[in-house]
Structures are given as structure tokens and as C-alpha cells.
Structure 1
Amino acid sequence: MSRRVVLGAGAALVAAGGAGIRTSAQAQSAARFSLHYAPHEGSFASRGSRLEQIAYAADQGFAAWEDNEAAGRPVAEQEAMARALRQRGMTMGVFVASMPKWADFRPLLGGNDDADREGFLADIRASIEVARRLDAKWMTVVPGFLDRKLPMEIQTGRVIDTMRRAAEIVEPHGLVMVMEPLNTLTNHPGAFLQTIPQGFAIAKGVGSPAVKVLADLYHEQIQAGNLIRTLETCWDEIAYLQFGDNPGRKEPGTGEINYGNIVRWLRARQFAGVIGMEHGNSVEGRDGEDRLLAAYRAIDAA
């Protein structure tokens, strides 16, 4: 596949010049996508190391990068990734600031144990320095699991209260915690936060620019569907999106979600944020990477 495919007239070209990996003579840049789609390590695994994958993604026209595991990486790796992204003019997407241990099924923010809430707030404090090193604005948080012995209203109130406390920690730094609703029907049975509207209600209850919703459309399609109407209704509390088709959680075009229509809707909204490509490739190896590129060129040109 040509690396000079043009998506449309007027698209800005990615600046040539390496991320400390390729020389300017070697780098050939495709037109940038119209939206900030963010691959992750593994999207282009055949191209080499994480930094080489970032350089390749930039050459293909991607303007963002996502790394859920960034907070757990050595400081030197965090700083190297941030340098690579700056050199290629790419935006850093989310990293995970706090996530429950899936094997524990602990209620965390909505339960009876204050130690769980204090542990969450400690994660948030630690994430401030991580965000600074990564040049990151958004961090993912997951409130934990349902406590089936407590009324939902009690749990919701506790989650709102804890997120307000977390907002007081990160808001002075200009950071945004994005709460991720997870589907309970395929991947995360028992999760507390299950839909975008539920996240909307919590964000409204918190009332801070530091607490918003991560709209992962793979999860929402499984749990509730009605994607465009849901985005439209909850839009003022959504700060970040993630794509992945259903079933299978692979690239757009492999399942039932009409991502072309969603991209058109986002462009009409002049969405300038990041869209994480939080999915695998349907085909392994370089053929799968070419298919991934073709899928995003297709929806971006829709």
C-alpha cells in the first residue's frame, strides 16, 4: 500500500523528520487524518520497538498515540516516548491512572471500605507526575465493581463524592480524569460503571472540568447501542473516545458498528480530541497492519 495516499484536499502533511529513529531522507509522510486517531503499541508491531512504531504511525498520518500501560513503565521509557511524540507533533492520549484488579471484584469507590477510596486517591496523586512526564492531559479511571448488598443510589453517591475529591487533586494541574464505562455482557461482568449515560450522570454530579467520560464505543454498543444519539445527548460530559468494532474488538469494518457515520458526526461537531484505537488487528502481521490502515482511511474519507 502506498505511503503517500492522500485522504482529501487540504489535509495537512505530517512534518518530515525522525523521532530519533529515521532520518528526514528516509521518512515519507502521508496526509494526516482528519481526526486524532491514536494507535497503541502493537498496532504496528512489525515495525519494531515502541518508538519505531510511533515514527511509523506518524509517517502514516496519525496525529496521536495511546498507552494504557504508560504509568507502569520505567521513567526513562516514559520520557523517551514523550520526546518521540513531541518531535513528530503527536498528541499523547490516555494512560490508566486507576483500574481495579479484575480478579478481586472489589466495589472500590462505591463500597463500604474507605481504604479502597484512599487507595484510589493515592493512584490519582501518583498520576500527576506521570502525566507531566508524558505531556498527557487525560487519564483513565474505572470506579470498580458493584456491591450487590448496597443500594445503587448509595454507591453512586459515594462514587460522586470520591471523584470530587480526586478532582480537587488534578484540577489545578489542568488534567482530566475520564471515567470509562465497561460492558458487563461480554468482558466485565459486575462492573459498576456500565454505560455512557451513567457516566454522564456522575460527571454532572461532580461538576468539575477534571471529571469527564471516556466513550468507548465498543463497550457502549454491547451494553446499550444507540451510539450517535447517546453521544449527542451526553456530549458535554464526554472528553475522550475509543473505537473498536463489535463483535471481536478489532478495527472498524470487522463488525456491526457504522464508524463512517460516527466519524461524519464527529467532524460535524468539529471534535479536536483524541480517539483511541483500543482494539486489536483482525489479521496478524504486516497484512493486518495494512488492513488497519485501510480501515481508518476508509472511515476517515467517509
Structure 2
Amino acid sequence: MLAPNIELLFTEAGPDHGDRARAAAAAGFDAVEVWSLDGKDLDSLAGAGVAVTAALVEYPPKTSFTFPGTDHAAYYAMVDRAVEDARRIGCPRLVLASGLGFPGASRERNLDILAEVFATVVERTAGSGVGFVLEPVNTRVDHPGALLDRTADAVRVARAVGSGRLGILYDLYHSITEGEDPAAELANAGGLVHYVQIADVPGRGEPGSGRIDWAAQRKNLRAAGYDGPVGLEYYPTVASAESVRYVKGEW
């Protein structure tokens, strides 16, 4: 299942994300993904006739794990609100970010703190029917300063939490931009890859606009046993309907 990101695609349909989702459906898609659900017309989105595969946990203002001793109550309240909205539109997973980490703490200690926080997230949302995926992002181009810039570290945190409701989001664009070998990262992650996003490198445009060998990457995902949804989180270089043709024809 391919899921265009309607923050970036089908924006020609206007500002309402329900209208964008309907435009995606008219282009032949059964699913879409979004960023934060904050401020969106959830009734319009839920009534668009397509599944919503993923959304971000974070609502403005963003909560980051920055200082030791920080009270995480506001963060957990944000998670609760995101889960409530996800349930309202039938979205099965929410994307977690790492924040910047705790200054002065080792990477290992930072990862342990993340595991503790996310274990609490999983516990407090038990029975919700909503799962979570932890996303590592590249720090070379898009997210300087982010703590989680390595797929293996996200895998470590997910394994430490040890819940089937928390896996990782493997974004081929971020991984390759960070200099990783997708085949090796996917093999190490095993069944912890619960969601995948794609964009080409360089430029984060639609697949086919850059240098990624997409036939090889599809093979890597199949070898890793991944058969779940694939989010199209890219900046189109042409009109949305044209930009998705390569993906729909080749994926």
C-alpha cells in the first residue's frame, strides 16, 4: 500500500487535508499519511474514503528531551491527545521523534532515557489500538542536532522497550543521506520495521528524480520481510499526479 504524504502532495486540491485525501483517492490511492493532526479538520479527513497510515505525535509547541530532570507531563499529555485524534480517524500508528537529547550525557545514556520515556508512552496508551514508530532522521542535511540519526540506535531503543506496539520507521531517504547501507540496516532491524517512507537522494524529490536504485531497494525491503505500507514523503518536482506515476508504475 502506497500512502502519499498530503502535507507535500496533492496540495493543488487546497488547504483542507480532506480535499487533498480525496484528490489522492481520485489518483488511485487507498491511503495517505499526514504530519501533525493538530489544527486539521479531522471529520473531513476521516470522511475522505482513504486510510490514514501514519501521523506525527508532536503538536506545537514541540516537546524535546533537553534537560535532565525535565517534567515529561506535558509530553505525555501531548501523546494522549495525539492518540485520541488518531483513534478518531482510524490511524493505526503515530511517529515518535527523539528530540535533541540531554546535553552532557553519553549517547548510550541518552538512548536509555528515550527507552524509559517511550516505555511509559506504550504503557499509558495500552488498549488504545494505536501503535508507535520511532524515526531516525539524517543530521547531515535536514535535522542537524537530532539525537537519533542512526537506524541502529532506533532499533536499540525499540528493543529496550520490548513491546510489539513500538517499532521503527525506516525512511530510505534519511538512511541513505546519512550514509547507511539499507540492506545492512534492514537486516539488523529484523521485524522491528513497522513503517517505511521513501524519497530520492539527493533533493528529497519523487523516486526517479535522484540516484537511488529503486529496484535494489525494493529487493532489500522484500528480503527483510517488509510488506507493510510505504509513505511517499517527498517534495514533488512536478505536479502531484505526474510525480506519483513512477512510483505507482514501479513499486
TM-score by length of 2: 0.89
Matched, 1:68 2:28: no
Gap runs ≥5 in structure 1: 1-34
Q: How far apart are 1:47 and its partner, in Å? A: 3.8
SS at match of 1:276: strand
Alignment partners' CA distance in 2, 1:270 and 1:234: 11
For 2:167 and 2:105, how far apart are their aligned partners in 1? 25
Say which of 46, 51, 66 aligns to 1:91.
51
1:84 aligned partner, one-letter code: A
Q: What's the secondary structure of 1:57's corresponding residue? A: helix
The residue type paired with residue 78 of structure 1 is L
Task: Report the counterpart of residue 294 of structure 1 in structure 2.
Answer: 245
Name the SS for the 1:37 alignment partner.
Answer: strand
Q: Distance in 1 between matches of 2:112 and 2:225?
A: 34
Structure 2: gaps spanning 5 or more residues: none
Is the aligned partner of 1:215 residue 2:170?
A: yes
Q: Aligned residue for 1:81?
A: 45
Q: 1:265 to 1:155 in 2, by over 3 A?
A: closer
Question: In structure 2, what is the equivalent of residue 134 of structure 1?
Answer: 89
- 226-235 vs 246-255, which deviates more? 226-235
Q: Which residue of 1 aligns with 2:19?
A: 52
Relative distance call for 1:55 and 1:282 in structure 2 (3 A) is: same
May I ask how many residue pairs the two structures share in their alignment? 250
The one-character-per-residue Cα deviations of 1:128-184 (angstroms, maximum 9, x if unpaired) are 211111101111111210334112222121111111111102232121111111111
Q: 2:65 aligns with which of 109, 112, 122?
A: 109
Q: Offset of 1:79 from its aligned partner?
A: 1.7
Structure 2 CA distance for aligned equivalents of residues 127 and 207 of structure 1 = 22
SS of 2:68's equivalent? Answer: coil
208-217 or 117-126, which deviates more = 117-126
Query: Do the aligned residues in 2 keep the contact of 1:203 with 1:211 (CA within 8 Å)?
Result: yes
**In structure 1, C-alpha distance between the alignment counterparts of 2:21 and 2:42, rounded to whole Å:** 13
Query: Which position in structure 1 is the counterpart of 2:179?
Result: 224
Superposed displacement of residue 267, structure 1: 4.8
2:247 corresponds to 1:247: no
Q: Counterparts of 1:55 and 1:298 in 2: how far apart (Å)?
A: 21
Identity of aligned residues (%): 24
Residue 40 of structure 1: aligned partner: 6
